[in-house]
Amino acid sequence: MGGSVGKVTAPKKKHPRADSSKNLHGTVDNLVEFDSNRWMSIVRALNEGSIVLNWTHPTDEIQSAGEAALKESELDLGRRKPATVIRELITDYLDEGLQSELTRLSREALVSIAAGEYAQMLCTAAVTQYPVGGVYIGTDKQRLGLATLDKRGSVTTTAPVRPSGDWPARVCRWIQDNRVRMVIIPTTASASSWLSELEAGLKEADIEYSSVSPAGMFAARAADDPVLRRVSPEIASAIVLARRAMQPIEAWSRVEPVKLGLVPMSAGIDDGRLSELLLMVRERCIAESQPLLNTPVGDSGIRHRGNASLNPTVRGIRDLRPGLNLNGVVSNVTKFGAFVNVGVRQEGLVHISELSNDFVEDPNEVVQVGNSVQVSVISVDLERGRIALTMRTESARMTSEGTPMRHGGSQRGGANDGPGRNQALQNLESLFRKSSSSDESDETSSDSSTD
């Protein structure tokens, strides 16, 4: 496969999108370290007919390798020539087979990259200098949004800024006046020149700052959050940036991972499968940052044991599967969610984003230790003894994730525990290790413009 070369050109017949696909023209020759994003764009353009892809293959090498394989196999070809058999079995399908394999590899690579990026977002070290200031830059048709948050995460001041005149200096004065110790800015912005000007201004004023991804900002602003609903979009975006720096896991978990745009739409990857993989990344990160004990200690100081009377048909963790509805008792409440005893030795975790159909600021507002609850299984990690649960209704999960929870399955311990899923888990385990090793309410809002 490494000796094959593809050439991308325009179609003979004029196509309405031919001009927009000119950037794809050229060769596809390095099939070992090819650009996955470019290849998926080529596939999209091929499907719409705005480009043509012609392959040249090392036919002599293929012929020699094929003849050697046929000879070694000792197949009875009868009167048929080896060249004919090789053409029928290999040569005639080279283009189709090669493109199919490149597409498969590209999708795997893009999902792997997305999982690594998501783990990095979740596992990055939280900012510990307060107050924190968020500065959001969107398009060149928007105002800038400024917001400060205190140690508790409450919004203390906000301000919109029109980027006119010496606006970076005005932003820096506002930051200094509000005694901000750490400024959070987006890693990218449509108005990239404004972002460069802001960075230059912060450096000149000797103001410490850090960058956070603005991925999924529209979905983050659309969350059922009373704080964000009361302010303008640019202010809400500044608050989201600051929260992501202060409480990475909680803030990023408020957005369904598939809505973060970590994989380009041109990749054609199923949202349900991608969501499942990214949720596994999130669960692993939560488990590593807040160790999930097999038998957490309650307020009484006594470790909770499995209670077989809760779910008589469930004898152990291997009896659990995604979509199974269970009775449970809350055994512990943390800032990440609640631990629930479902009648097996291992406690399950209901993440804060899974405690209710509505937005939850503090898990203690929803559940208390000792509460009886109804939960459903999201996933089961038999190797690590982890159980992810939800208290949201299935209709709410279908609406937010775009795919229903899967019920049934003949395999115990979770549906779809085949070789592909096991490999995915191994890949995610590797990605998480790399990521984790690299990183050791009342609101007082004053919309005072700095125009």
- Within this chain, do residues 206 and 79 fall inside the same structural domain, yes or no? no
Give the separation between CA 35 and CA 29, rounded to whole angstroms.
11
Beta carbons within 10 angstroms of residue 30's beta carbon: 10
Q: What Å distances lie between residue 165 and 170, 246, 274, CA to CA?
A: 9, 31, 45
- Within this chain, do residues 232 and 99 fall inside the same structural domain, yes or no? no
On whether the pTM is more than 0.85, the answer is: no
| Structural domain that includes position 83 | 5-123
Please report the pLDDT score of residue 153 as a whole number.
92
Q: What Å distances lie between residue 261 and 110, 116, 256, 258, 265, CA to CA?
A: 12, 14, 10, 6, 8
Residue 29 gets the label, from left (phi > 0), alpha (psi -120 to 50) or beta, of alpha
- Within this chain, do residues 163 and 180 fall inside the same structural domain, yes or no? yes
306 and 369 Cβ atoms separated by less than 8 Å: no
- Within this chain, do residues 285 and 152 fall inside the same structural domain, yes or no? yes
Q: What Å distances lie between residue 150 and 77, 211, 246, 314, 362, CA to CA?
A: 79, 18, 10, 46, 17
> pLDDT truncated to tens, each residue of the chain (451 aa)?
458 899 999 999 889 999 999 999 999 887 777 889 899 999 999 999 999 999 998 888 888 888 888 878 877 777 788 888 888 777 788 889 899 999 999 999 999 999 999 999 998 999 999 999 999 999 999 999 999 999 999 999 999 999 999 999 999 999 999 999 999 999 999 999 999 999 999 999 999 999 999 999 999 999 878 999 999 999 999 999 999 999 998 899 889 899 999 988 767 788 888 888 898 888 778 777 654 444 444 443 333 445 556 888 888 898 899 999 999 999 888 888 899 999 888 889 999 989 999 888 889 999 998 889 999 999 998 888 889 999 998 877 766 655 444 333 333 333 344 444 455 545 545 544 444 444 444 444 444 455 5
Alpha helices in 391-447 (DSSP H): 394-401, 419-437
Residues 6+ apart with CB under 8 A from 385: 294, 317, 346
- Within this chain, do residues 285 and 158 fall inside the same structural domain, yes or no? yes
Give the separation between CA 196 and CA 121, rounded to whole angstroms.
22
344 and 317 Cβ atoms separated by less than 8 Å: yes
User: Got the DSSP string for 321-360?
Assistant: -TT-EEEEEEEEEETTEEEEE-SSSSPEEEEGGGS-SS--
- Within this chain, do residues 150 and 266 fall inside the same structural domain, yes or no? yes
Please state the domain count of the chain. Answer: 3
DSSP annotation of 376 reads E
- Within this chain, do residues 144 and 261 fall inside the same structural domain, yes or no? yes
- Within this chain, do residues 216 and 361 fall inside the same structural domain, yes or no? no
Give the separation between CA 425 and CA 280, rounded to whole angstroms.
8
- Within this chain, do residues 314 and 450 fall inside the same structural domain, yes or no? no
Residues 6+ apart with CB under 8 A from 282: 118, 122, 249, 252, 253, 257, 351
Give the separation between CA 403 and CA 257, rounded to whole angstroms.
13
- Within this chain, do residues 50 and 15 fall inside the same structural domain, yes or no? yes
- Within this chain, do residues 87 and 226 fall inside the same structural domain, yes or no? no
Q: What is the CATH number of the domain that holds 381?
A: 2.40.50.140
- Within this chain, do residues 315 and 221 fall inside the same structural domain, yes or no? no
Tell me which of 108, 123, 138 is where a domain ends. 123
**Side-chain half-sphere exposure of 388, counting CA atoms within 13 A:** 24
User: CB burial class (10 A; 0-12, 13-18, 19+) of residue 260?
Assistant: buried
Tell me which of 123, 139, 166 is where a domain ends. 123
DSSP annotation of 288 reads H
Tell me which of 123, 150, 178 is where a domain ends. 123
39 and 28 Cβ atoms separated by less than 8 Å: yes
Q: What is the CATH number of the domain that holds 129?
A: 3.30.420.140
